[in-house]
Chains A and B, each alone.
Chain A
Amino acid sequence: MAQAESYPDDLRYHHAHDWARVDGDEAVLGVTWFAQDALGELVHFEAPSAGGTLAKDQPYAEVESVKAVSDVIAPLSGEILEVNQKAIAEPETVNDDPYGDGWLVRIRLTDPSEVAGLMDADAYRAHVSEQ
């Protein structure tokens, strides 16, 4: 199923195992390799609606495996511009490619200063190693 464990250097990370790829005042969000591995094969992505808002540190969606359901936590605040339809139709994409085709939502940031509070890849790797 999933590719080998990895935490790309160009992403920012939230301790609840979410990542953000920030580009100007927009960001693409998803869950980390660690999160998808802990959950197992995903079979459902309960997505938010485009146009909805995200509040940093609050749940904005759910992902489910055969055995369990888990909240997805917003690493940043923003307005949802786009939801990944492929993650809805084929949730296993999140396992197969958590940082690529398995992204979840694209948002417009409401407070770009929040980005500075997220972890870089090295800090997140250290966080994961303590789990």
Chain B
Amino acid sequence: MDAAVADLRRTPLYERHLGAGARMVPFAGWEMPVSYDGVIAEHLAVRSTWGVFDVSHMGQLHVEGPNATELLQSLLSNDLGRLTDGDAQYTLLTNERGGVVDDLIAYRITVHHYLLVVNAGNRAAAFAWIKEREIRGSEVRDASDDYALLAAQGPESIARLGLADAPTFTHTMAELDGVEVMVCRTGYTGEPGVELMCAAEDATLLWDAVVGRGARPCGLGARDTLRLEVCYPLHGNDIDETTDAISAGLGWTCALDKNFTGAPALRRIRQEGPARRLVAFVMEDKAIPRQGMSIDDSGDVTSGTHSPSLDVGIGLGYVPVASAVPGEQLTIDVRGKPRRARVVKKPIYSREDS
């Protein structure tokens, strides 16, 4: 085993993954399950019944204090003023250029206390970004190692967990088979479902409870194909510090009537119009687009895969605004071979169509 592999971190569920036959891969400094029985079967289970993902590699930052709201309103793109206790919101941590330091979900515990769930690969950067900008009466704390996080996703997930219906982007505390959990009506699959946060030491109890209720263990492979079908951006692929929120199609997460880092730049981009936009596309030729492939010599693929639901190559990529219209034909350079694709309206897949 080389040093790079030896240095990888493991979630509290590592032994459970091995026991379930997972293929483990390095991801953002963690050794994570990419699949158990196969990406396609896991993907289809989440679309048709339900599955469970270990996403304990993600980071949890507490932001607390009487001025916690004021601090976060100045750093996050979305308007936290629209939340009450028990609400959640998808939002961006933006830099001065309107680039995306991280995309995250902010959970309001109280007006003096927010929990931010950040990407595993951005945990340190997001924490440092906020820490450097703390104001009097606010404090950020990285509590990532204290928590385990499971995503139970799919049309049967809520009923199988014995949970009552609740609006999306809300959260509540509950006891699930003896484990105290924060039940969040959020996810990354486009399906109904919850994310369950518990103390790290309860992770195996919670995993066993959810799997015992029939959830199929699913890996990061299916997580990626599921999110790409519904066009949820992946930080590091589709968005990063150099891509602005407007070009990425995330203007809806930007409350440009308030002041936050990057708001002036984003207002200017919105007014002038971006040069490129992040579009969704479907292959018309038989081929699978991959990150980094060139689109018509003027754009590039940021995410690409084979869609298990639609059985066709799909992707996201930046193209000049003139081409960023559903129905437009694109030509993608697939390892030297021109392959045709068509811009489609987001999401590429929706439950209603199927």
Q: Which residues of A contact B (CB under 8 A)?
A: 1, 40-41, 43-44, 46, 62, 64-67, 69
A66 near B221: Cβ-Cβ < 8 Å: yes
Query: Shortest distance in angstroms between B189's beta carbon and chain A's nearest beta carbon?
Result: 15
16 extra A-B contacts, CB within 8 A, seeds A43-B288, A66-B221: A1-B38, A1-B41, A40-B23, A40-B39, A40-B221, A41-B39, A41-B40, A43-B40, A44-B306, A44-B313, A62-B335, A64-B288, A67-B39, A67-B221, A69-B290, A69-B335
A44 near B40: Cβ-Cβ < 8 Å: no
Q: In the docked arrangement, what's the CA distance between A99 and B51, Å?
A: 33
Nearest B-chain residue to A91, judged by Cβ: B306
B287 near A46: Cβ-Cβ < 8 Å: yes
B288 near A40: Cβ-Cβ < 8 Å: no
Which of B35, B38, B41, B305 has the largest count of A CB atoms less than 10 A from its CB?
B38
Nearest B-chain residue to A38, judged by Cβ: B23
Q: How many A-B contacts at CB < 8 Å in the complex?
A: 38
B335 near A66: Cβ-Cβ < 8 Å: no
List B contacts of A46 (CB < 8 A).
287
Q: In the docked arrangement, what's the CA distance between A64 and B39, Å?
A: 13
List B contacts of A43 (CB < 8 A).
40, 288, 306
Q: Which residues of B contact A (CB under 8 A)?
A: 23, 34-35, 37-41, 221, 225, 286-288, 290, 305-306, 308, 313, 335
Instruction: State which of B34, B41, B286, B335 has its C-beta within 8 Å of the C-beta of A67.
Output: B34
Q: In the docked arrangement, what's the CA distance between A40 and B25, Å?
A: 13
Q: In the docked arrangement, what's the CA distance between A126 and B288, Å?
A: 34
A40 near B335: Cβ-Cβ < 8 Å: no
List B contacts of A44 (CB < 8 A).
286-288, 306, 313
List A contacts of B225 (CB < 8 A).
66
List B contacts of A66 (CB < 8 A).
39-40, 221, 225, 305-306, 308
Q: In the docked arrangement, what's the CA distance between A67 and B303, Å?
A: 11
A69 near B38: Cβ-Cβ < 8 Å: no
Q: In the docked arrangement, what's the CA distance between A64 and B334, Å?
A: 12
List A contacts of B38 (CB < 8 A).
1, 40-41
List A contacts of B40 (CB < 8 A).
41, 43, 66
A69 near B39: Cβ-Cβ < 8 Å: no
Q: In the docked arrangement, what's the CA distance between A41 and B219, Å?
A: 14
Instruction: State which of B34, B306, B308 has its C-beta within 8 Å of the C-beta of A64.
Output: B306
List B contacts of A62 (CB < 8 A).
335
Q: In the docked arrangement, what's the CA distance between A26 and B317, Å?
A: 44
List A contacts of B288 (CB < 8 A).
43-44, 64, 69
Instruction: State which of B35, B290, B308 has its C-beta within 8 Å of the C-beta of A40.
Output: B35
